[in-house]
Amino acid sequence: MVDMEKKKLDPVTKVKLLLAVEYGIFVIVFAVLGILFLTGIIGVADWKRYAFTYVTLAGGAWLVADFVWCLASPKRRAKNSMVDKSLLLPVGLFLIGFDIYAIVNGCAETLPYRYVIGIDFCVLAAIYAFETVYHWFRPIPGVIEAALEEKDETKNEDQ
C-alpha cells in the first residue's frame, strides 16, 4: 500500500475554498427560491408582502450606503471588493424604488410581488455565481489579509 501524504492547503486557498462554497450555497438557495416564487409554487401571503417590503427597504438602503461608504473611505475600499458593491447597487436601488411604490399603494397587489421576489432572488443567484468564480481568481483583500494574519499566528504558536 502506498503511503499517501496529506496535502495541506495554505490558509489563502482554504479561505478561497470556504468563500466559494459559501457563495455556491447562496447561489443554490437563491435560484431555488426565485424559481419557486416565479412559478407560483411559493405563494405571496399578506405577511410576506409586508415583510418583504420593509426588510428590502432597509436592505436596499444598506446596499446603497455601503457602496457610498466604500467609495468615500479609502481604508474600507482597500479591504472590500468594489465589484461586489457595484453589482449589488442596482438591486438595492430597484428595491428601494419598488418598496416606496408598494408602501404608497398599501402593499395591496400580490402579482407584482411574485415576480419581484422571484426575479430578485434569481438576479442575486446570478450575481453570487459570478462572484464565486471571480473571487477564486481575485480574492477579497480583507479576507486574504485575515488569512495571512491567521497563518502568522499559527506559525508563531508552533515555534
Tell me the CA distances in angstroms from 152 to 8, 14, 147, one per residue in order. 16, 15, 9
Measured distance CA(52)–CA(30) in Å, rounded: 15
Q: What confidence tens digit (pLDDT) does each residue in 19-45 have? A: 999 999 999 999 999 999 999 999 888
Measured distance CA(115)–CA(40) in Å, rounded: 9
Q: What confidence tens digit (pLDDT) does each residue in 93-115 have? A: 999 999 999 999 887 777 788 99
- Asked if 110 and 8 touch (Cβ cutoff 8 Å), the reply is no
- Asked if 35 and 114 touch (Cβ cutoff 8 Å), the reply is no
pTM, rounded to two decimals: 0.84
